[in-house]
Chain A
Amino acid sequence: MAPICISSAKPTHAPPRPPPQRTDSWSHWLRRNFFQNAGSAVMTALALWALFVTVPRLVRWAFVNAVWYTQDAADCHAAAGACWAIVPEKYRVMLFGTFPYEEHWRGVLVIAIVLGLSALSTIRRLWSYWLCVAWLVATAAVFTLLLGGVFGLRPIGTHEWGGLPLTLVMFVGTVVGGIPAGILLALGRRSKMPAISALCVGFIEIVRGLPLVTVLFMASLMFPLFMPEGVTIDKFLRAQIAMTLFFAAYAAEVVRGGLQAIPRGQYEAADTVGLNYWQKMTRIILPQVMRIVLPSMMNEIIRAFKNTTFVGIIGLFDVLRATSTAIQDPVWVRYSIEAYLFIFILYFVLCFAMSKYSERVERDLAVGR
């Protein structure tokens, strides 16, 4: 090592140092990101080899040799690649399930209303009471369209609902009903009254310890048994109630985390100015809680959307179940993988959009803190 120079005078014999390495050249970027050390170089080589083996095959299968549109399954059979033609052939069954064929336009309108309003709701400038009103109007419109029986629309029973409209209605119903229920459960769990807190803890912990399918199964088999004679709740509603209660238990734990994160001073200050319990909660505590828990609540909401596929197990025709039914057709059954991939991509696009939006909201909220 060179001796350390303590004097501030510049030694005359020192050779000029080389300029600092350029960090903006592409070769430097390449080295830093792919060949920083031997291990990294090996990983790069391995990854490139794996990609080289798989990607060309996949591209050949999915694009080059694929059949995009045909009404004759024999064309697909002749081709070496994917048979995407199953999607245009079967998309109406996949997207609308058991919904009556000539009324599909109503399903399309429902999808448009729910997706459109959801997209509008992401724009923060539009967040106001009017948005709540819009959602209420939309709910009324959705149920009018789906149920029918007024304005000359043919009545459609909930047993005929299916596909994407069913999935979306189930999802929105779960979230809209589950968040208030979850807030109440969380408040109950933190309540100082032992009986109420014990009841809420019991409900939350039992539901969270059970698989969703068992809750749905119980709703579909045991609800009818427990109802007084002559009272029947239809299958859709039973599944909806089960989904909502299940979501509420998870939402309650998210809200509880937020309630615990609020400093004591906020509670005490609210008490000091003489607010009663509900005033304290709705005006002081909950607005702060909702802000804190928004990211984790978004995770639960995305999970609730993914969980809507479970209702297929108890016999409702959501998108997944409708797809499984659509490909029962013996002519097209060999191309099930393509149909499932289409559904896969559909769910991915919706969930990915939600998760990216949630990340953005999280970043924006962090700015003000």
Chain B
Amino acid sequence: MTDQSLAAPRRRPPPPRPPLSLSGAWNNVAVRGWVYQAIVVLGVLGTGVFLIGNAQDALSKQGISTGFGFLTQIGGFDIGEKLIAFGSNDTFLRAYAVAVLNTLKVAVASVVLSTVIGVLVGVGRLSSNLLIRRLASIYVEVFRNTPQLVQLIFWYTLITALPRPRDAISVGGVVFLSNRGLLLPWVDTDASLLAIGLAFVAGCIGAWAVGRWAEARRRASGVRHSVFGWQLALVIGAPLAASWMTGASYTLSIPVLRGFNFRGGMALSPEFLALLLGLSLYIAAFIAEIVRSGIQSISRGQIEAARTIGLGPLDTYRRIIFPQALRVMIPPAAGQYVRVVKNSSLGVAIGYPELFSVNNTIVTLSGHTVEAIAIMMSIYLAISFVIAALMNLYNHFVQIKDR
């Protein structure tokens, strides 16, 4: 017995190859997979060709030429709110640029505002104070459980129901809220924004480098250097120095009532304001939940360990809880920011000229429905994918480095 079992196991002969037959091939998983895929791909392609053929027939019958040539034609319409100059003598292409900038303007403002509110409410939901906890959860439940469009239209109705400019609600005589929107004091300047912006970026990089240096010193010597003052000086000082060197002049412009409307200051239109509130208050409720679950995902042991080695509450937050919670929070938060950009298209309901509503005008005026929709969709997809890619990159840096 032992002899035989110790001997090399007898190799079984390979199974006989199935005869080359149709049914044999059909029973082969790989062959069947290819057949299925061929059917699906052909079906999709066929449907596509059929639909596009129909569209071409319909368009040629209506005598509409296809192509993107219309982009360089004069639009002949005006856009109420714009960051770059635009008038009825400008092309459709420039109209798209105005629209995209308007979309980005409201999206960036909403991302900032919703993050601030979301973090405050999210931390508030974990507060030891019962009143704050309750208020924060009421906020989340109310804003999460109602449609964004209803909220948006509600804000817009509320803003347009505000008093006229003459009876505007004033804060300290410099900020005015009326049915024409929000008026803020602003600085009029002829300074080169590029130089100041570059100086600001340089200051930020400098502050970061100082922080790195201090951290490296602390690790090497155990001595803490307080460099916060230096960092602040760099971030604020660099743009100031740049504006002083370029010799720019500044005048504070405070809004004043002239006749029926305000002059001076910075005006936020009712449409912009309503869209900003509608986007950020809604998304903030979701960000708050992300922040809450992110902080709650830190195990108690981490906090207890931090306390054991003598970290104060602030350091515990800054060095232990926050870096770890951030890893959990980044991916869902990125999803919410993409949602802000996409939902800015609701501006069409209140007449804010963002990409979707300007595109509607372009469709009507140019008649190039298919091309215009294709351009609009590509822009939205590009913005979504860029945000997703940036967040993935960031995520890559903050993820736990496995050995």
Contacts and interface: CB of A to CB of B under 8 A. Distances in A.
A306 B54 contact: no
9 contacts: A43-B132, A214-B376, A218-B373, A225-B54, A312-B149, A320-B150, A343-B150, A347-B145, A348-B146
Contacts of A32: 128
A214 B373 contact: yes
Contact of B380 (A43, A47, A209, A229): A209
A13 to B, nearest CB: 33
Interface of B: 33, 36-37, 40-41, 44, 50-52, 54-55, 57-59, 127-132, 135, 141-142, 144-151, 153-154, 157-158, 161, 338, 342-343, 345-346, 348-349, 356, 360, 363, 369-370, 373, 376-377, 380-381, 384-385
Contacts of B146: 306, 344, 347-348, 351
A355 B141 CA distance: 9
Interface stretch (A103-111, A141-149, A193-201, A280-288): A193-201
Contacts of A43: 127, 129, 131-132
Contact of B356 (A34, A214, A227): A214
Contacts of A228: 50, 54
Contacts of A210: 342, 377, 380-381, 384
| Overall SS of chain A's interface | helix
Contact of B157 (A209, A337, A355): A337
Contact of A193 (B36, B158, B356): B36
A214 B358 CA distance: 12
Contacts of A22: none
Contacts of B356: 211, 213-214, 217
A223 to B, nearest CB: 9
A357 B278 CA distance: 26
A104 to B, nearest CB: 23
A313 interface: yes
Interface of A: 32-34, 36, 40, 43-44, 47-48, 192-196, 199, 206, 208-214, 217-218, 221-222, 225-229, 302, 306-310, 312-313, 320, 324, 334, 336-337, 340-341, 343-344, 347-348, 351-352, 355
Contacts of B346: 213, 310, 313
Given A43-B132, A211-B380, A347 B150 contact: yes
A194 B37 contact: yes
B348 A225 contact: no
Contact of A302 (B41, B145, B373, B384): B145
A225 B58 contact: yes
A26 to B, nearest CB: 13
A309 B131 contact: no
A252 B144 CA distance: 22
B145 A192 contact: no
A337 B158 contact: yes
A208 B360 CA distance: 21
Contact of B345 (A211, A306, A334, A341): A211
B276 to A, nearest CB: 17
Contacts of A227: 54
B145 A348 contact: yes
B36 to A, nearest CB: 6
B129 A214 contact: no
Given A210-B384, A320-B150, 18 more contacts: A36-B128, A43-B127, A43-B131, A47-B132, A199-B44, A211-B356, A214-B345, A225-B55, A225-B58, A226-B52, A228-B50, A313-B349, A320-B147, A324-B153, A337-B157, A344-B146, A347-B146, A348-B142
Given A209-B385, A347-B147, A225 B369 contact: yes
A206 B384 CA distance: 10
Contact of A307 (B147, B158, B373, B376): B147
Contact of A310 (B149, B151, B153, B373): B149
Which one of B44, B150, B338, B349 has the highest number of Cβ atoms from chain A below 10 Å of its Cβ? B150
Contacts of B373: 214, 217-218, 221-222
Given A222-B370, A306-B146, A213 B55 contact: no
B55 A34 contact: no
A37 B105 CA distance: 41
Given A43-B132, A47-B131, A226-B54, A340 B153 contact: yes
Nearest to A35: B129
A36 B133 CA distance: 14
B145 A193 contact: no
Contacts of B144: 351, 355
A337 B161 contact: yes
A210 B382 CA distance: 10
A217 B376 CA distance: 11
A306 B342 contact: no
B145 A195 contact: no
A211 B349 CA distance: 14
Nearest to B130: A33
Contacts of B369: 221-222, 225
